[in-house]
Amino acid sequence: GQNIDQPTEMTATEGAIVQINCTYQTSGFNGLFWYQQHAGEAPTFLSYNVLDGLEEKGRFSSFLSRSKGYSYLLLKELQMKDSASYLCAVMDSNYQLIWGAGTKLIIKP
């Protein structure tokens, strides 16, 4: 079957760095997406990786290793507004998005 694993919840301190991991097993691979979802709101797109390596976008970076079926989202200089759920999703061979359950990130002052 298809499976996306990410931690259920993480806690970090304002100003620090946090890494949210995602491992996947899917039938085919056409890219991995990270979305941010604040409580009560719809997800917003953060990043897309289809080749191995690190993609940096401001305070957020996303890394992919296709051979290991692994990705992480790195958040630097954490701000209170970064408190949200972070969803990892993989596009399979049928171009269907397979969603992880999300990681709830709690930022403490």
Partner 1 sequence: GAVVSQHPSWVICKSGTSVKIECRSLDFQATTMFWYRQFPKQSLMLMATSNEGSKATYEQGVEKDKFLINHASLTLSTLTVTSAHPEDSSFYICSARGGREGETQYFGPGTRLLVL
Among 22, 32, 91, 107, binds partner 1 (CB under 8 A): 91
Backbone angles phi, psi at 11, to 5 degrees: -125, 140
If binding means CB under 8 A, how many residues of this protein chain bind partner 1? 21
Judge contact between 34 and 82, C-beta under 8 A.
no
The radius of gyration of the chain from alpha carbons, rounded to an integer in Å, stands at: 13
According to the binding rule CB under 8 A, does residue 48 interact with partner 1?
yes
According to the binding rule CB under 8 A, does residue 45 interact with partner 1?
yes
**Which residue from 74, 94, 84, 85 is spatially nearest to 31, judged by alpha carbons?**
94
Locate 26 and state its tokens.
């899917």
According to the binding rule CB under 8 A, does residue 73 interact with partner 1?
no
Of residues 4 through 23, those in contact with partner 1 by CB under 8 A are: none
Binding site for partner 1 (CB under 8 A): 30-31, 33, 35, 40-45, 48, 50, 87, 91, 95-97, 99-102
